[in-house]
């Protein structure tokens, strides 16, 4: 399967596809419906090819490039990229429009083509995100966009506005945006590294089972109202040595609403890889034992509105799910970042590197549908 730019060699197949498209379907208008092959060759094809590098066009005209999705010897879809956004496009049709041949819909071509065109668009557009628009009634295209990493950012009477971070838009965190809620014993911050030395008797826990309330661990976080994203960090806890020494990722909203994922030292044989979710003042701990010789762990923290996912990895490439949860107070502005603490009479240095924000790696659910009411 491949995308081919509009060209003379494939003119017959392009003409057959373009002229067979309805004049208006799912919000995509086609002024070339039904034109003859002679007219296509004489007028339409040269005009479409000229739109990539327009000459003598009005100031409002945005260059666009046409591509066609081929599966073997069959042309199955058309995709177009608008090279940049005007205000009207930003709040309207966006960067990409596409269609799939009617008889080939529901066979995965929309997803395959959109993934490929995203790669191409990422090399063309100046914006950090790819803007799209889809009719509210076009559920199939909504699912295609969500599979490709889209998130809904707005709507009008008939459409949802969607955005997808372009490839290569992942970037290291701006450490200037990080602020402390309670400071540690010591901290060294460099552009690519943060070292936190813990204070003894610092911890986070609320009520459940143990009945105590600990709320004095230092956390270093940034604020965001972004509804869909992932945060990745590598933690090195080689110096942990006392029971419950820990470090990892955190989303601390207030003393009674927060979550964390970390490795807690237990003894020379094993330690606990786990997560704690605290909603409305009650903590919920999920954990599993791992060997004590594991001294590095990566985490990926992902947000989809007020639902969250914590994943872990030992190599930073292959991540495994630790926790999926809902945060009752996590629908609006949140704070997230890193933490380290020593609940008992101990102190150690935790090292955090490879911090970056990316598009949401936790994709929308595409499996069993909810039960009907």
Q: What is the CATH number of the domain that holds 244?
A: 2.60.120.200
Q: What is the DSSP string of 273-318?
A: EEEEEEETTEEEEEEEEEETT--EEEEEEEEETTEEEEEEESSSSS
Phi, psi values for residue 306, rounded to 5°: -105, 20
In a domain? residue 14:
yes
In a domain, 10, yes or no: yes
Residues 299 and 226 in one domain: yes
Residues 43 and 154 in one domain: yes
Close Cβ partners of 215 (under 8 Å, ≥ 6 residues apart): 204, 206, 255
pLDDT, tens digit only, all 373 positions of the chain: 899 999 999 999 999 998 888 877 766 777 888 889 999 999 999 999 988 888 877 778 899 999 999 998 999 999 999 999 888 898 888 999 999 988 888 888 999 999 999 989 988 888 878 999 999 998 988 888 888 878 888 888 888 998 887 776 555 667 888 999 999 999 999 888 999 999 999 999 999 999 999 999 999 999 999 999 999 999 999 999 999 999 999 999 999 999 999 999 999 999 999 999 999 999 999 999 999 999 999 999 999 999 999 999 998 888 999 999 999 999 999 999 999 999 999 999 999 998 988 889 898 887 776 666 5
Residues in the chain: 373
* Residue found under tokens 């004049």: 23
Instruction: Assess whether 154 and 190 both reside in one domain.
Output: no
Asked whether residue 116 is domain-assigned, the answer is yes
Instruction: Identify the CATH number of the domain in which residue 82 sits.
Output: 3.40.630.30
Same domain, 179 and 323: yes
Q: Could you list the residue range(s) of the whole structural domain that residue 249 is in? A: 171-358
Q: Are 307 and 325 in contact (CB under 8 A)?
A: yes
Same domain as 217, residue 95: no
- pTM (2 d.p.): 0.60
CA atoms of 122 and 109, how far apart (whole Å): 20
Which pLDDT score is estimated for 21?
83
Residue 181 and residue 325 in one domain: yes
Statement to judge: residues 276 and 306 lie in one domain: yes
Give the chain's domain count.
Answer: 2
Domain annotation covers residue 371: no
From residue 27, how far is each of 67, 93, 153, 183 by CA, in Å?
Answer: 19, 9, 19, 54
Whether 251 and 186 map to the same domain: the answer is yes
Domain's final residue, options 165, 182, 211:
165
Helix (H, G, I), strand (E, B) or coil at 115: helix
Output Rg (C-alpha) for the chain, integer angstroms: 26
Specify the pLDDT at position 358.
85
133 and 200 in a single domain? The answer is no
CA distance 236 to 295: 6
Asked whether residue 265 is domain-assigned, the answer is: yes
Is residue 271 domain-shared with residue 336, that is, in the same domain?
Answer: yes
Same-domain status, 40 and 153:
yes
Same domain, 152 and 210: no
Which of 146, 165, 184 is a domain's end point? 165
Residue 367 located in a structural domain: no
**Is 184 inside a domain boundary?**
yes
Domain termination residue (choose one: 102, 130, 165): 165
Structural domain includes residue 365: no
Produce one character per residue of 31-49: b if its CB has 16 or more CB atoms within 10 Å, e if not: ebeebeeeebeeebbeebe
């Amino acid at each position: 399967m491949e995308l081919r730019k509009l060209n003379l060699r494939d003119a017959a197949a392009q003409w057959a596809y373009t002229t067979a498209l309805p004049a208006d379907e799912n919000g995509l208008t086609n002024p070339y419906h039904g034109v003859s092959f002679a007219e296509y060759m004489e007028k339409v094809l040269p005009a479409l090819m000229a739109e990539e590098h327009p000459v003598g066009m009005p100031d409002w005209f945005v260059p666009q490039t046409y591509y066609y999705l081929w599966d073997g010897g069959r042309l199955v879809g058309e995709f177009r990229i608008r090279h940049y956004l005007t205000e009207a496009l930003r709040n309207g049709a966006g960067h990409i429009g596409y269609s799939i041949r009617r008889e080939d819909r529901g066979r995965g071509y929309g997803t395959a083509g959109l993934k490929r065109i995203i790669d191409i668009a990422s090399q063309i557009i100046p914006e950090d995100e790819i803007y799209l628009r889809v009719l509210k009634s076009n559920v199939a295209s909504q699912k295609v966009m969500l599979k490709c990493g889209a998130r809904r950012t707005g709507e009008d009477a008939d459409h949802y506005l969607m955005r997808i971070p372009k490839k290569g838009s992942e970037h290291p965190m701006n450490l200037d945006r990080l602020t402390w809620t309670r400071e540690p014993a010591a901290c060294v911050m460099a552009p690519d590294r943060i070292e936190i030395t813990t204070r003894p008797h610092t911890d986070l826990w609320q009520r459940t089972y143990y009945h105590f309330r600990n709320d004095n661990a230092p956390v270093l976080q940034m604020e965001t109202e972004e509804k869909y994203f992932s945060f990745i960090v590598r933690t090195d806890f080689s110096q942990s040595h006392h029971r419950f020494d820990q470090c990892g990722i955190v989303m601390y909203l207030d003393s009674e609403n927060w979550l964390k994922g970390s490795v807690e030292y237990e003894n020379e044989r094993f330690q606990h890889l786990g997560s704690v979710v605290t909603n409305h003042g009650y903590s919920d701990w999920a954990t599993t034992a791992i060997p004590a010789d594991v001294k590095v762990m990566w985490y990926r923290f992902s947000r989809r509105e007020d639902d969250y996912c914590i994943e872990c990895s030992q190599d930073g490439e292959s991540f495994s799910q630790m926790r999926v949860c809902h945060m009752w107070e996590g629908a609006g502005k949140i704070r997230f970042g890193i933490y380290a603490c020593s609940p008992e009479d101990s102190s150690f240095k935790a090292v955090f590197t490879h911090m970056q924000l990316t598009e949401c790696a936790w994709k929308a659910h595409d499996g069993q549908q909810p039960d009907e009411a």
